[in-house]
Amino acid sequence: MNRVQAILTLDMENIPANFPEIIKHEQEVVANWKEAGILESLYLRKEKNGAILIFKDLEEEKVKELMTTLPLYKLKKSIEYLNLIKQF
């Protein structure tokens, strides 16, 4: 079973005043992905500067396309993608 891990790091030095509203919208988007069965896991980074999202049964190109629709995408410092094969 293929998985794609997206590691999102935010540019915390340039957070806009409406950040709480952006977070609320972000939560709605990822909840929809979870409900649709394409998002397996979401981890917030301890440093509170981003998240790790694990998508299932999607190709990396599709994951990259989806990530551009996240409200936090505009605040990204970087995104790293890793293709994984789930063993158990």
Question: What's the pLDDT tens digit per position in 46-63?
Answer: 999 999 999 999 999 999
Structure confidence by residue, pLDDT tens digits, 14-45: 999 999 999 999 999 999 999 999 999 999 99
State how far the alpha carbon of 82 is from the alpha carbons of 14, 20, 44, 65, 79, in Å.
26, 29, 17, 15, 10
Nearest to 25 by CA among 73, 64, 61, 80: 73
Decide: pTM greater than 0.85: yes
Chain-centroid distance, C-alpha 67: 6
Inform me whether the pLDDT recorded for 87 exceeds 90: no
In CATH, what number does 2-85 get?
Answer: 3.30.70.1060
Domain ranges of the chain: 2-85
Inform me whether the pLDDT recorded for 77 exceeds 90: yes
Q: How confident is the model at residue 86 (pLDDT cuts 50, 70, 90)?
A: confident
Nearest to 62 by CA among 27, 36, 44: 36
Identify the pLDDT of residue 1.
Answer: 79
